[in-house]
Amino acid sequence: MRGLTRLPVFLAAVAVWTAMPASAQQQTVPATPAQRLAACISCHGGAGKLQSAPPGGTRQYYPRIAGKPAGYLYNQLTNFRDGRRQYPLMTWMVQHLSDDYLHEIADYFSTQHAPATVLERAGLPAAELERGRQLVTRGDTALKVPACIACHGERLTGALPAIPGLTGLPRDYINAQFGAWRNGSRHALAPDCMSGIAQRLSLADVSAISAWLASEPLPADPSPAPSLKHPLPLACGSAPAPQP
């Protein structure tokens, strides 16, 4: 009897369904990269824009991925998948994906371009900014720390095939990554050059670097350089020197 009492409700639902237009009954979601990768945009940028959020927002810890070299993005996806880099959400998303699909993701985001929010320099201590500028543009020979521009390019937009740009990244994200290298929760292919650099920098130096980088505006053309003008100042497993 209970089934009979539910029959009118079921028939009413069928009547409503059959009365709906065919377009409403069978909604086809386009199998485009943008549609399939919408989950990435929900963290790395809102309203379809692949950019970092302004300070104080919940996305201030997420990096800007638009326009990064495909080789770098692929390296980071495999680092999350293979356990060299720790962030549960990213690991969960990529742990079952093939190399080919990770390449497809990296290629897609490498072709996207969007502006980034830049931290205002007016409220930052002048001495801290100057120390940051020195480390970014000149390095510190006493600490055996090369200048950021020696690896990430003079415009800090990275270089092909796998060196990322540093401008357009939120300050909290930069600080968090230095912390991850220092405590060993982030690794790259050996030799892990950034891990060694992070160990040599004081917390004050890290803060100075992040303040300067996060307040440096993107150049008119933020695309990565085709290559570096000079060899890397230290061996780096994620960006091996080209073979002769």
pLDDT digit string (tens) for 88-135? Answer: 999 999 999 999 999 999 999 999 887 778 899 989 999 999 999 999
Helix or strand or coil: residue 140? strand
Q: What pLDDT does residue 53 have?
A: 47
pLDDT digit string (tens) for 38-57? Answer: 888 888 864 444 555 444 44
Tokens for 195, please give them.
Answer: 């891990």
Q: Which amino acid, one-letter code, is at 170?
A: P
Tokens for 107, please give them.
Answer: 């290629």
Task: Give the contacts of 22 (CB within 8 A, at least 6 positions apart).
Answer: none
Q: Return the HEC string of 173-213.
A: HHHHHHHHHHHCCECCCCCCHHHHHHHHCCHHHHHHHHHHH
Domain 32-214 has CATH 3.40.309.10: no
Under 8 Å between Cβ of 149 and 195: no
Q: Which residue has the tokens 């933020």?
A: 222
Under 8 Å between Cβ of 148 and 166: yes
Greatest CA span in the chain, whole angstroms? 86
Q: What pLDDT does residue 95 have?
A: 93
The residues spanned by each domain of the chain are 32-214
Q: What pLDDT does residue 15 have?
A: 54
How many angstroms separate the CA atoms of 3 and 189, rounded?
62
Q: Which portions of the chain are predicted below pLDDT 50?
A: 1-4, 6, 9-10, 13-14, 16-17, 46-49, 53-58, 244
Q: What pLDDT does residue 116 have?
A: 79
Interior angle at CA 53, CA 51 and CA 57, nearest 5: 160
How many angstroms separate the CA atoms of 105 and 161, rounded?
15
Number of C-beta neighbours around residue 98 at 10 A: 10
How many angstroms separate the CA atoms of 148 and 214, rounded?
14
Task: Give the contacts of 65 (CB within 8 A, at least 6 positions apart).
Answer: 40, 44, 50, 73, 109, 112
β-sheet bridge partners, residue 186: 85
Under 8 Å between Cβ of 44 and 58: no
